[in-house]
Amino acid sequence: MLRRLYDRVLALAGSRRAGLWLALVSFAESSFFPIPPDALLIPTVLARPERAWRLAFICTAASVAGGALGYFIGYALFDQLARPILATYHYEAAFQAFQAKYAEWGLWVILIKGLTPIPYKIVTIASGAAKFDFLVFMLASTVTRASRFFLVAALLRQFGEPVRDFIERRLTLVTTVTAAGIIGGFLALKLL
């Protein structure tokens, strides 16, 4: 079933409204949809390399907006859905410890996970559930999502079809190296 959904998303790349579909998939993936926007971004950029930057921007903006929805889900619906389960199993203290750790390390979680192919909805919902600072969440989301999608667009625009297989197989490696560079930059700024 997931493969059929993936194939349908991939077919949207050839549509006249590929940009709109890219925005919808990117928005939905950040809060509830299982298919990452790369499945649509890659073939869309390959089909129209002159629009690579525009498509990366669409992907970024929609992903960050969808992240706000994911944050809201974690923030507003967590109490109704998850808190009763935590109380049943007497995990309230463990959740408070999670919130404290997230308050301390949440920025790094967002920066690292926002770049990787790990489902971003996990980060967005967890950030809301932990009541992480919303402005910091949105700024970190913008930095990481833009870095990820513009990196993919740049590689595809520069190298075309030959890099597609590399991205699909080694996107985790590429984004992890990029995440390390961003974190190194933040640490360097902090030390100055």
- Structural domain range at position 71: 2-191
Inter-residue contact 110 to 147 (CB < 8 Å): no
CA separation for the pair 56, 173 (Å, rounded): 19
Inter-residue contact 116 to 144 (CB < 8 Å): no
**Per-residue pLDDT reduced to its tens digit, 71-120:** 998 899 888 876 776 677 787 787 788 788 888 888 888 877 777 666 78
* DSSP 8-state assignment for residue 184: H
Share of the chain above pLDDT 70, in %: 75
User: For the residues 13-22, what does the mean pLDDT come to?
Assistant: 82
How confident is residue 174, by pLDDT bands cut at 50, 70 and 90?
A: low
User: For the residues 6-12, what does the mean pLDDT come to?
Assistant: 66
Neighbours of 140 (CB within 10 A): 27
In the chain, the N- to C-terminal Cα span, in Å, equals 51
CA separation for the pair 43, 29 (Å, rounded): 17
Inter-residue contact 178 to 147 (CB < 8 Å): yes
pLDDT at 176: 66
Number of structural domains in the chain = 1
pTM over 0.85: no
Amino acid type, 158: Q
User: What stretch of H or E contains 8?
Assistant: helix 2-11
122 pLDDT higher than 60: yes
CA separation for the pair 141, 139 (Å, rounded): 5
140 pLDDT higher than 80: yes
Neighbours of 191 (CB within 10 A): 6
189 pLDDT higher than 60: no
pLDDT at 3: 62
Give residues with Cβ within 8 angstroms of 27, minimum separation 6: 62, 63, 65, 66, 69
Nearest residue to 124 via CA among 179, 75, 62: 75
